[in-house]
Structure 1
Amino acid sequence: MQDFRQLAVWKRAHLLVLHIYEASEAMPEAERFGLLLNLRRTAISVASKIAEGSGRGSDAKFAIELRRSRAAITELEYLLLLSRDLGHLPETQFQSLTEEIVEVRKMISGLISRLTTAP
C-alpha cells in the first residue's frame, strides 16, 4: 500500500479539483443541483479513485481504480465542454482546464501501463 498523497498523479488530480471548484464558483444558481454538482462530483471522483486504488493492496486492483479515474476524467472533459457551450465557462478557462485534463489523463494512463506491464 502506498500513501496516495505521495503520488504525483494524485497531486496533479487534486490540483485539478481545486481549479474546477474555482472555475465553477461563477456558475448560475440554477445550475447548483445540476451541472455544477456533476462537475464537482466528477472532478472529485478523478482524484478519489486514485487515492482509493492506492490502498487496494495490489497493482491489479490499483489499475482497476485508475481506469475508473480515467473514465471520470473523460466525463469531466465533456462536462467542461458543456459548461463552455452553455456560456458558464469562458473560453480561456475552458482551454486551461482542458490542458490540465489532458496532462492528468496521460499521467493516469502512464501509471496504468507501469502497473500492468509484466516485469
Structure 2
Amino acid sequence: MRHNFKNLKIWLKAMDLTDMVFEFSKELPANERYNLIDQINRSCCSVPSNIAEGSGKNTDKHFAEFLSIAISSSFELETQLLICERRKYGSVGKLKECIDLVSEVQRMLFSFREYILKTEVKSFNS
C-alpha cells in the first residue's frame, strides 16, 4: 500500500524538526563543522527522508521497516543534541525546543509504525 508522504502529519512534523535543527546547528562552534554539525544535519534529514522512502514501498510491512530506520535516526539525533547540551553549545532555549520536538516525533513514529503494522495484519487476515 502506498502513502502520499507529503500528506502525512508525521512527515510534516519531521520536516519541521529538520528546519528547527538546521537553524540550531548554525549556532554551533565552527570547529564542529565537519564533525558534530554535519552528523546532526545528516541524522535529522534521515528522519523525513526515510518516512518518504518507506511511503513508496509496496507493502505496509516494508513501510514499517523504513519507519524503524527513521526512529533510529531520531535517537541518533537526540544523542547528538544531548552532546551539544553537555558541551554547552548553542542556545539553551533552542536546544530544548529541538529535544522536545525530537521526543514528539519519536512518539508519533512509534504510534504510526504500530498502526501501520496492525493495519497490515488486518488486511492480511481479511
Pick the TM interval, shorter chain.
Answer: over 0.9
Moved more, 63-72 or 90-99: 90-99
State how far apart, in whole Å, the 1-side matches of 2:52 and 2:18 are: 13
Find the aligned partners of 1:108 and 1:74 in 2 and give their Cα distance.
11
4+ aligned runs moved over 6 Å, structure 1: none
Q: Distance in 2 between matches of 1:57 and 1:106?
A: 25
Paired position in structure 2 for 1:19: 20
- Paired positions, count: 119
The answer (yes or no) to whether the contact 2:21–2:44 under 8 Å persists in 1 is yes
Is the 2:50–2:70 Cα contact (8 Å) retained in structure 1? Answer: yes
In our comparison, the structure showing a higher alpha carbon Rg is 2
The gaps in structure 2 that reach 5 residues or longer are none
Q: Decide whether the 8 Å contact of 1:84 with 1:90 is kept in 2.
A: no
Trace 1:18-37 onto structure 2 (pairs within 5 A): 18-37=19-38
Question: 2: distance between equivalents of 1:67 and 1:59?
Answer: 12
TM-score, normalised to structure 1, is 0.95
Superposition pairs of residues 1-119 of structure 1, within 5 angstroms: 1-117=2-118, 118-119=121-122
Gaps in structure 1 of 5+ consecutive residues: none
Question: 2:5, 2:30 → 1: CA distance?
Answer: 34
Q: Could you tell me which amino acid in structure 1 is paired with residue 54 of structure 2?
A: G
Which of the pair is proportionally richer in helix? 2
2:51 maps to a residue whose letter is: I
TM-score, normalised relative to structure 2: 0.90
> For 2:96 and 2:43, how far apart are their aligned partners in 1?
18
Alpha carbons 2:51, 2:67 under 8 Å: kept: yes
Higher deviation after alignment, 92-101 or 14-23: 92-101
